[in-house]
Amino acid sequence: MTGNVAGVPASRATALDYMERALAILRTLDGNSAKSVEHLVEAIDAAMPAPLAKMTADETELTWQMSYVAQRVFQLHNKYEMTFEQIAQRLGITADQAREHLDYVEMIINAPPPTKDV
């Protein structure tokens, strides 16, 4: 079940898997769960090894507007360099789905800004 990451003991990886699943459930609830989602994301990040990369403010803002799965795929892949197989195990999706979500997020992030018609 675990999407184990280098440097994370198996028991912690299992706990992280359950936390990710809880996060997915909280994200589907009404807007009253926003603070809980924020706290759980912070707890997951605190339990992970130090991020290997920082997300820019623009990347963070854009990903918060996307689906939970797309957002988490991007964060786990870019911040922690998890493989598609690890991400798939962690989020309960296939490696191909993880790859598709990452492709979608990167397409949105790398899209040129809209131009204003004058």
pLDDT digits (tens, 9 = 90+) for 17-39: 888 888 878 877 766 677 787 78
Topology of domain 10-110 in CATH is Arc Repressor Mutant, subunit A (1.10.10)
Tokens 């079940």 map to which residue? Answer: 1
Q: What is the pTM of this model?
A: 0.68
Instruction: Name every residue whose Cβ is closer than 8 Å to that of residue 45 and which is 6 or more positions away in sequence.
Output: 51
Tokens representing residue 54 in the block: 């920082």
| Amino acid present at 98 | A
Is the predicted pLDDT of residue 54 greater than 90, yes or no? no
Q: Is it the case that residue 3 has pLDDT exceeding 60?
A: no
Record the tokens describing residue 76, joined without a space: 């786990």
User: CA 74, 76, 78, 81 torsion: positive or negative?
Assistant: negative
